[in-house]
Amino acid sequence: MKKKILAVLLSAAMVAAMAMGCSSGGGSSAKSDGESKGKAEDMTFVVVPKCVHAWFDEVNKGAQKEADLLSEQLGVDVKIDYRAPESAEVSAQNSTLEQAAATNPTAILLDPVDYDGSADIIKEIQDRDIPVILFDAPTPEGSGLTSVGNDFAEQATIAVDMLVEKMGTKGKVAVMQGAPTAPNHAERYQAHLDALAKYPDIQVIDGGIDNDNVETAQSQAAAVLAANPDLTGYLNCDACGSGVAAAIEEKGMQDKVTFVAMDNLIEILDYVKTGTITATSSTLPQEQGMYAVLMAYQAAQGMPLPANVDTGIGRITADNIDEWIETVSAK
């Protein structure tokens, strides 16, 4: 929790510093001619997640908090335009991106379903002098983009470590994929497999594909559990753990299957509280939204940006679940 408090304080300090620079005519435009923006103007940041999902709702909350802080510090109207495609499909997301760009926003914040499938439209948006900031995704090599998130491979390794700590080094483990084309989900999935490969007495099986949908996760997990009554462990790659947990409870396998999930949505935390989910590692979605807006503001001012902003990983177990539930419920 100390890291989260520090993140908020750092954000406030950065905004205050930028506000001083803006009021004195400092800071430059993102336009190619490099002309100074001068006095701060009203801004709109468009947030385009993969799809409609509770995890992205938390990202939106963080983005709105940062927008409110910028509004207060800069004395202008800073708006968040949240546009979530109904499903995690690249065509749907590209259509949303096109519609967002047509509004000529200050910047666009994007969690790509498939970066390669959106690369052309991202370039078109940038050519219109609209900065693009990625969140919850690694920075594609050679893209020059800034990404806000965490080390996805590290997060998967943490999950495997927590699984083995409870289950032991022998057993049968299913790994569920999220949206396979999504770079963060793909990286987590491969990292799960790599970490599990260190344990030769653990058999790894296909845990299904949920495509970032809780109901799909539940139905996929139910099929896997029915076909594998000897299953001892489950891992997943996105914030659909409540679906897997529901399937485990329906099969009455809470005492047989050690399930380590991802993220800190309240419905996931509730399952940690009951013990159906043994542990979860959180990507801190509100912090991702907050820092993505902050990076987008800096980009719009022509400021240099880091390739990556790491918001950290929260480790949530039975030992600290009450603290996390209180924190997330209060957001």
- Report DSSP letters for 109-163, one per residue: EE--S-HHHHHHHHHHHHHTT--EEEESSPPPTT---EEEE--HHHHHHHHHHHH
Per-residue tens of pLDDT for the chain, all 331 residues: 444 434 443 454 454 444 434 433 333 234 444 444 446 689 999 999 999 999 999 999 999 999 999 999 999 999 999 999 999 999 999 999 999 999 999 999 999 999 999 999 999 999 999 999 999 999 999 999 999 999 999 999 999 999 999 999 999 999 999 999 999 999 999 999 999 999 999 999 999 999 999 999 999 999 999 999 999 999 999 999 999 999 999 999 999 999 999 999 999 999 999 999 999 998 899 999 999 999 999 999 999 999 999 999 999 999 999 999 998 988 6
Identify whether the C-beta of residue 136 lies closer than 8 Å to the C-beta of residue 283: yes
The 3-state DSSP class for residue 233 equals strand
Tokens matching residue 169:
């080094």
Rg (CA), the chain: 21
Where does residue 34 fall: left (phi above 0), alpha (psi -120 to 50 degrees), or beta otherwise? Answer: left
Tokens matching residue 120:
């052309």
State the Cα–Cα distance between residues 110 and 97, nearest whole angstrom.
9
First to last CA, the chain: 13
pLDDT of the residue at 330? 80
Q: What are the extents of the domains in the chain?
A: 43-150+285-311, 152-282
CATH class of 43-150+285-311: alpha beta
Tokens matching residue 185:
């989900």
pTM of the complete model: 0.80
Identify whether the C-beta of residue 165 lies closer than 8 Å to the C-beta of residue 95: no
pLDDT of the residue at 49? 98
| Fold (topology level) of 152-282 | Rossmann fold (3.40.50)
Residue 278: how many other CB atoms lie within 10 Å: 22
Tokens matching residue 303:
């400021």
| 43-150+285-311 shares its CATH topology with 152-282 | yes
pLDDT of the residue at 205? 98
The 3-state DSSP class for residue 76 equals coil
Contacts of 223 (CB under 8 A, 6+ apart): 208
